[in-house]
Structure 1
Amino acid sequence: MDFNMRALYATALALFIFLPCSVMAAISPALFEVSKQGHTSYFFGSVHMGEARYYPLPSAIEQRFKQSQRLVMEIDMADESAIQMEMMQLMMQHGMYLDGSDLKTHIPSSLYRQTMKTAERLGVPANSIQQLRPWAVALLIGQHYYLTMGLDPNWGVDQYFSQQAIKTGKAIYGLETLAEQINAMLAADGEGSSMLQQVLDEADSSSDYTQRMMTAWEKGNSSELSAIFSEELDDTQADKLFVEHLLLKRNKNWLQQLKPMMKKETLFVVVGAAHLVGPENILDSFRQAGYQVKAVSY
């Protein structure tokens, strides 16, 4: 996707999800203007699963998107069939046991029992997860969990902007490939047992953690969002690996690509909200490099 921060982002390689608020509530998520030497681009923290009521987004956001010359995303999602094909191939390569073993033989018995119980409650067929590795099971269960809450990946922010760019002929640039995302996740959590445990715990709990996250995102309260994200990050090796591989390394890689591009074009950058808050986030890195960063008022 917590779900502490690690589980949030885990589910989030595909989903990065939050709970819905009241149906008619207006939203005002944060948009940031980043400029240097006369060149300006815009940064928007995304949620990868949402509701139809989010759209159209506030006019200030829609207008900046229209003014931009290029949409920049974590992954170029324009060719959906190609993305789906690549995901299937990566799942076969990294997400399934092909040696005759199954999930039960690779995780503790207590975790396996919890997995099967939660899967049954959420309507996930048992035979659909037996050959999957823990991280893939975590993604599948996480998706079903949020779908039961009325959230839809087709209404995710990145999906929305990708579709708008295609309609208007706006160029799209992907900061990384799907394979690179999955490799980053595997580097942070190996088989993904820790990720699976935390997704299950979130699905089985009545915590308001994700509700508070969504409220902060909808209100554009970046400081509150940062505080919530950081709440359950501990000084453990697992959390250190998560921060290193899924946040810091990716942030640095993206910055290396973004800086030269921003000298040539007005970009509209849509990345997971976690990358724009917290320690060593993308916006702070721009500030330290002499860029002017400010929230767009609307």
Structure 2
Amino acid sequence: MRRRLGFIFAVFAMALAMPPAGVHAADKTKKDEATPNCHGVDMLAETAARDPQTYNRIMAEAAATKNAGAIFWKVEKQGRPASYLFGTVHLTDERVTTLSPAVKTALNEAKTVALEVSDLSESATSSVIASSAPLVMFTDGQRLDQLLSNTEYDAVKNVVVRAGMPVDLAALFKPWIVTMILSVSDCERIKVQQGARVLDMKIAEFGKSRGLEVVGLETIPAQLESLAAVPQQQQLDMLRTSLKYADRTNDMMETLVQLYVSRKITAAMPFQIAMAREAGVSDQAFAGFQEKLLVERNVKMTAVAEPLLDKGGLFIAVGALHLPGDKGLVALLRESGYTVSPIE
């Protein structure tokens, strides 16, 4: 099976290391075509104009989140060289992939680079998916067309076909993977087909070009297990929300980019919840995502990172949603005795 992994809504890109859905990262079949411009409309700015009350609630919740306002942090402990923690978003947009001078300096000084997963290659991802069918597809007799309305399932079939897969697979996919396919625009897929690299891949390539050790804080199977562990009803609710905005994937990605470059990443989750409310989906739909994809993984990644941090000179690059909050990596590292200070 070709790689079909992307990000649940656009914001899920900040919690997963996997490249966009439905593409071969190294596929250059469209290299002679002009690189598309994937810029869309900032939907949060739209919300501010259309519904100031909802916008103010989103931004107030974002501002109240612990360790908000920065994506790049210095990690220190007495007697060790400084390390760094960098929040990424797994997109190809040049506004994201263009690193600041401070980040470049930290990378140049690093001895080791730690990503969510160390190998984002097509072969690594494909082999894992091939051996993890029960996490991706129904194997117990259930079918997606039995869990959705006819209208919803017709929309799912259109999504699957547009992503280049046989329509017959639509009924077999678990809800979370369809949402992931939906979350990346056709435009972004084309860019990756042309050879564009998401931010994490560019960081990995930079580290390898300097001869640095590039390690993973987790594995692709572990990420798949986390996604599949979200309760099925919540998966269905997230899929229904995604279908509601299926024609606005460029806009959703533009919103994510704007939140990232303006250092307002903590508004991403309350904004997604507000979108779900408009689609008639309960806030509870995101409870499993936050617990399985963020909280539990943060604890595991911290445990793996600590021995590397004790050596010093570590550059950690993980999805930006892993950094803030009471149970984010910044807070967890401080609890482990590190001084963690915002840089930008």
TM-score by length of 2: 0.69
Separation in 2, partners of 1:13, 1:164: 17
Give me the identity figure in percent.
Answer: 23
Q: Of 236, 239, 245, which residue of structure 2 is paired with 1:202?
A: 245
Deviation readout 1:15-58 (Å, 9 max, x if unpaired): 489x7479xxxxxx842111121432111111112135655522
Give runs of aligned pairs for residues 118-137 of structure 1, distance below 5 A: 118-119=159-160, 126-137=167-178
Q: Which residue of 2 aligns with 1:26?
A: none
Matched AA of 2:239: L
Structure 1: state its 5+ residue gaps.
23-28
Q: Which residue of 2 aligns with 1:47?
A: 89
Q: Which residue of 2 aligns with 1:25?
A: none
Give runs of aligned pairs for residues 106-145 of structure 1, distance below 5 A: 106-119=147-160, 126-145=167-186
Partner-residue secondary structure (3-state), 1:77: coil
Query: Structure 1 residues 149, 175: closer, same or farther in 2, change over 3 A?
Result: same
Partner-residue secondary structure (3-state), 2:114: strand
Give runs of aligned pairs for residues 1-298 of structure 1, distance below 5 A: 1=7, 3=9, 8=12, 12=16, 14-15=18-19, 20=39, 30-39=71-80, 40-51=82-93, 55-77=97-119, 80-90=122-132, 92-98=133-139, 102-119=143-160, 126-145=167-186, 147=188, 154-190=196-232, 192-205=235-248, 210-219=253-262, 221=263, 224-233=264-273, 236-296=283-343
Structure 2: state its 5+ residue gaps.
1-6, 22-37, 42-69, 275-281
- Mean CA deviation greater in 55-64 or 125-134: 125-134
Partner-residue secondary structure (3-state), 2:230: helix
- Mean CA deviation greater in 126-135 or 141-150: 141-150
* Superposition deviation, residue 178 in structure 1: 1.1
* Superposition deviation, residue 154 in structure 1: 4.1
Separation in 2, partners of 1:77, 1:248: 23
Query: Structure 1 residues 290, 199: closer, same or farther in 2, change over 3 A?
Result: same
Partner-residue secondary structure (3-state), 1:155: coil
Partner-residue secondary structure (3-state), 2:172: coil
Separation in 1, partners of 2:20, 2:341: 24
Separation in 1, partners of 2:97, 2:273: 32
- Please give the root-mean-square deviation of Cα atoms over the aligned residues, in Å: 3.5
* Superposition deviation, residue 282 in structure 1: 0.8
Separation in 2, partners of 1:75, 1:206: 25
Deviation readout 1:73-94 (Å, 9 max, x if unpaired): 111116652333112322x232
- In the alignment, is the contact (CA less than 8 A) between 1:52 and 1:155 conserved in 2? no
* Superposition deviation, residue 118 in structure 1: 4.7
Matched AA of 2:18: A
